[in-house]
Amino acid sequence: MKKLTGILLAFVLVLGLAACENGSQPKNDAAKEGAVVGESIGTVNGKDIAAKDYQMFYDMYLNMLAKQNQISENIKSMLVDNAIINQDLEKNKVTLSEEEIAAVREEMIAEFGTEKDFKENLEKQGISEEVFDTLVNMRAHQKAHVDWYKKNHPVDEKAMETYYNEHKEDLDSVKASHILVATEEEAKEVKAKLDAGENFETLVEEYSTDDMSKIVGGDLGEINFKYSNFDPVFLEAVKELKVGEISEPVQTQFGFHIIKLTDKKEGIENLKDDISDILFGEEYMKYMKELKDAAEVKFNDEEEKEEDKVEAEKEAEKATEEEKPAEESTEEAPADDNTEAEEAPADETPADEETPADETPEESND
């Protein structure tokens, strides 16, 4: 569920930021990035740089970016999803209390950090309290819809087992930390201190040459043996460890490692929550697609475009009709051919009568 609610948060935050770019910012335009006050934004050698020129190009680039990133289409798609969710909740008689919405608001504020961090972030992003309240309401309804669907469509145990067997190598993973040093002598020194009970994270800070993991106590995160890019020797050493166990010095191309296995997620029992989230997410997305496919969605601007298209087709047809007389006048030649064809018999009649006329003089001569 954490993954899904994270997706929902991203959904509403992206929507909120996109909406802000399309005119939902606070009314105080002077505080809005890109907005200018007065007739000049500065000077060059004492000559003013016109504020209207700056604003013209700023707006132009905003519009270009909006079109390139299909912001309008994305906003429409997200608003359609939100409307479908609200209608489905209403259809299934799922309601939210003011307390539930308030709890979601507190969760979202907490994700920013402190109350101060929250307010600073809103101001930085140009999001008003009113817009944030709308986002809270959307997330609360989306969360309620996910919870309702999961309650009424539990994931089947056999389906989880089948999924695990088919994707075992993709799912099994471990978490490990390490201390990386340049020489075997240093590695043995570190191992001795660890065996004596010294703190692993403290020794990471003192000895490790891996600057990236050093800032998080040597933590290397989740390691999947199928997809990992770690040195094969390192991975083999990790496989041999039990959770909480610390390895002997392990040499790789990078130096000498002291490895500590901090967690292991192997077997369906340890991965049930992850598999359940995956399968539920797939089913929920299918359900949402069915709702969207069944919905009748119309946008006013698209209807206007369709009307304009029909009108243009009518105009083109009208223009074609007006051109027809001119086309007919250019087709007189075929009409003359028909006339000649009809007149041919009349020409043949005198030709047929010439023979008797020729024969008559011959008889008179006899």
Q: What is the pLDDT of residues 105-132, one digit of tens each?
A: 999 999 888 888 998 988 888 888 888 9
104/187 same-domain check: no
If asked whether residues 196 and 59 sit together in one domain, one would say no
Angle CA 297–303–305, to nearest 5 = 135
Last residue of a domain, one of 265, 289, 313: 265
**Pair (122, 259) in one structural domain:** no
- Boundary-marking domain end, from 239, 265, 291: 265
Domain annotation covers residue 237? yes
Residue 108 lies in a domain: yes
Identify whether residues 24 and 67 lie together within a single domain: yes
Query: Rounded to a whole number, what is the largest CA-CA distance in the chain?
Result: 157
Is residue 238 located within the same domain as residue 179? yes
Q: Which residue has the higher pLDDT, 87 or 357?
A: 87
Closest CA to 131 of 16, 29, 18, 27: 16
CA distance 348 to 260: 116
pLDDT in tens, 178-223: 999 999 999 999 999 999 999 999 999 999 999 999 999 999 999 9
Same domain, 20 and 122: yes
Is the residue at 131 inside a domain? yes
β 173-181/219-223 pair status: antiparallel
Look at residue 44 and give its three-state secondary structure: strand
Residue whose token pair is 């020129």: 53
CATH of the domain at 198: 3.10.50.40
Tokens for 121, please give them.
Answer: 């972030």
Q: 92: pLDDT confidence band, cut at 50, 70 and 90?
A: very high
Average pLDDT over all residues of the chain: 81
Residue 354 lies in a domain: no
- What single string gives the DSSP state of each residue in 168-234? HHHH-EEEEEEEEESSHHHHHHHHHHHHTT--HHHHHHHH---HHHHTTTTEEEEE-TTT--S-HHH
Q: Residue 49's beta-bridge partner residues?
A: 42
344 band by pLDDT with thresholds 50, 70 and 90: very low
Alpha carbon distance 272, 278 (integer Å): 10
pLDDT-derived band of residue 38, with 50, 70 and 90 as boundaries?
confident
Residue-wise pLDDT for 253-284, tens only, equals 999 999 999 999 888 988 999 999 999 999 99
Whether residue 304 lies inside any domain: the answer is no
Same domain, residue pair 146 and 256: no
Task: Answer yes or no: is 185 within a domain.
Answer: yes
Last residue of a domain, one of 237, 265, 293: 265
Least Cα distance to 126 among 14, 15, 29 occurs for 29
**114 and 84 within one domain:** yes
pLDDT confidence bin for 58, thresholds 50/70/90 = confident
Query: Domain check: are 243 and 124 in the same one?
Result: no
**How many C-beta atoms lie closer than 10 Å to residue 150's C-beta?**
17
Backbone angles phi, psi at 263, to 5 degrees: -165, 155
Structure tokens at 174: 């471990």
Name the CA radius of gyration of the chain, rounded.
Answer: 40
The token pair that represents 252 in the structure block: 């790789």
Does 87 share its domain with 148? Answer: yes
C-alpha 143/C-alpha 104 separation (Å) is 9
Q: Tell me, yes or no, whether 10 and 110 share the same domain.
A: yes
**Domain of 237, in residue numbers:** 173-265
Q: 244 in a domain, yes or no?
A: yes
The total of structural domains in the chain comes to: 2
Q: Are residues 63 and 123 in the same domain?
A: yes
In a domain, 351, yes or no: no
